Amino acid sequence: MAVSPLKSTYGRTGSNSAYHPYRSGSSEFYAGGRNDQRRLNTRNLDKDIADMMTANRHKMMLGDSRYIFRSSAAISGAVRQKANYVYGGSWRMQSLSADTDFALAVEEDFKRLDMMFDIRGGNFGFRKSIWRGSKLLDVDGDFFVILTEQPETGFPKLQFLESHRVGDWGDCREGFVTDDPAYNGRRIQTGVIVDDYMAPVAYRVKDDSRVKGFQDIPANSVVHFADMEWFSQSRGEPSIAAAILSWYDLAETMDAQKVKTKINSMLTLVESNESGTRDIGRNALGIGGGTSAPATSYMSGGTIRVIKSGGSLLAHTANDPPAAFLNFMTLVETQAFYSMGWRREMLSSSLTGAGVRGFADDINKSIAARREVLENGFKRCAQYIIGKRAKMGAYSLPKDWWKVSFTKPAEFTVDAGNMRKADIEDLRAGLTTATNIVERRGEDYNDVVIQRNKEVAFHKKTAEEYGNAPHEISILTKPGDAPPTEAAVESDEEVEHKKAVLQFETLKAKFDSYGVGVRAGSITPQADDETSFREEAGLPSASPEVKKAWLDDGGYRRPITLQSGAEAQSNILETNTQEDE
């Protein structure tokens, strides 16, 4: 008998024994929100992540991540770049149903209605939501989709909610629901109402249209997108947050360096004199500038600077930003990017050889991990849409209607030319398939084959219409290539002549092989052999004399093997003697 699962939130009694009033959480878990910057106290980390990352801490983390995203050009560009590769213009819904008619109908339905599923309308297409979703996982940590419908028609609608819309609204200060009879006594963790095993049963969503300012939506009507790193998590965490202190340090250091650079850019000359101060006398004589300008005398085509004997005037130079500063910035940025599953080399890279291949492999693994998180949630959205559309009568559902997938984005590569050469070699060696190669380019193999056939048919039709040869418009040549020539059309007589020549050559080869076998003693000639050869060669049937000769020989003849002339004559004499006797 299986062991019963543990109940982690079994009512108030079981939880209060290890729970703190007002759910203060743990400031040590999220380093960016701690007051003690030395971070010496870590004794409060032995709790569930959901207990330590309370609504207040989650709000601080969300605010920090969004601020860094909006204020840092590097992190903003990296997050968008990652979303570009994850989306890649792909993500076309594919039905994996064995019913091909149903599969085609569903796929066409999704193509036609892509801009209508989102409740906000045309600017928020279903496929492009992948891009926005990837960005939100890095910046917000999670997002939500409410599965709803159009009241009048029952048309399926999706309402996307960002992270801040779900939270501990209402009377749940101590971490338990007390203001909703359907969920009273249930644990709520940053807006996620859970059962005794921490499985979500509802989400508390901000709703200004209600008197309470929120509503609890059942979990089966919500798709929660999050890349959970801990088994005790209830909410997702922004990937940016792992390096929040580094991003703040980089911002402060960059600001200080900018101030320094601006000051140095305004300093042009450095004057040395006996007093170390501005010479008021020369200014009074009118040979100097204003109170802050150097003493100068103007002349056509240039200026003359007057200085005292023993003084000097040097051009101000500054090596800004210094190399040490740039190296430091690169090091911190590298670590911060790595914490969010990305590589700084995507901004600028000096890697070569194996380093490039390793770097590209890391990027593709990061893209694949993100794609897996998004695909799981969007499959559920697609299944909901298919079910609703079937209910509207768009199509009938087969048994395997729920089997869906999405086309993959193109694989990241730093050298597409060499990768394609390697793909061709692997395909010829049988180490990969054409389907695998096409999918890594962000396309569907079936679509590619269908399109190629359409193009071939179009070339043939167009060539015939304009009186050209199909190969003249269907083969792409490079400069220097010999132009392809169309094979000459042969007449019926020429075709028949070639067939006759081929049959003769085949028959001759068979006769030659038969003769070699007979002379080698491997074949014993018999009457049926001659009959068969005569029929195949088109010769007349054997005459009565020939048939009698076979009868006299007993229906077969011993092979004449390769031997000397004397041996052959001796055998003949011996045979004649035996016949006389």
Q: Say how many residues make up the chain.
A: 581
**Per-residue pLDDT, 580:** 53
More confident residue, 215 or 459: 215
d(CA 288, CA 467): 88
- In the chain, pLDDT over 90 holds for what percent of residues? 28
d(CA 343, CA 341): 7
What is the largest distance, in Å, between two alpha-carbon atoms of the chain? 160
Instruction: With CA atoms as reference, report the closest residue to 369 among 342, 343, 406, 395.
Output: 342
Instruction: With CA atoms as reference, report the closest residue to 95 among 84, 83, 85, 109.
Output: 109
405: enclosing H helix or E strand: strand 404-406
Average pLDDT, the chain: 79
**Per-residue pLDDT, 541:** 82
* pLDDT over 70 at 426, yes or no: yes
Average pLDDT over residues 121-139: 92
Summarised one tens digit per residue, pLDDT across range 442-463 is 777 777 888 888 888 888 888 8
Q: Is 283 exposed, middle or buried (0-12, 13-18, 19+ CB in 10 A)?
A: middle
Average pLDDT over residues 145-163: 94
d(CA 366, CA 138): 12
Comparing 37-41, 135-139, 484-488, the range with the smallest average pLDDT is 37-41
Average pLDDT over residues 327-350: 79
Average pLDDT over residues 139-162: 94
DSSP 132-191: HHHHHHHHTSEEEEEEEE-TTT--EEEEEEEGGGBS--SS-TTSB--S-TTTTT-EEETT
Structure token digits, residue 460: 């043939």
Residue 118 phi/psi, 5-degree rounding, is: -70, 135
Average pLDDT over residues 285-291: 51
pTM value > 0.85: no
d(CA 34, CA 245): 11
* pLDDT over 70 at 245, yes or no: yes
Kindly give the pairing relationship between strand 200-206 and strand 192-194. antiparallel
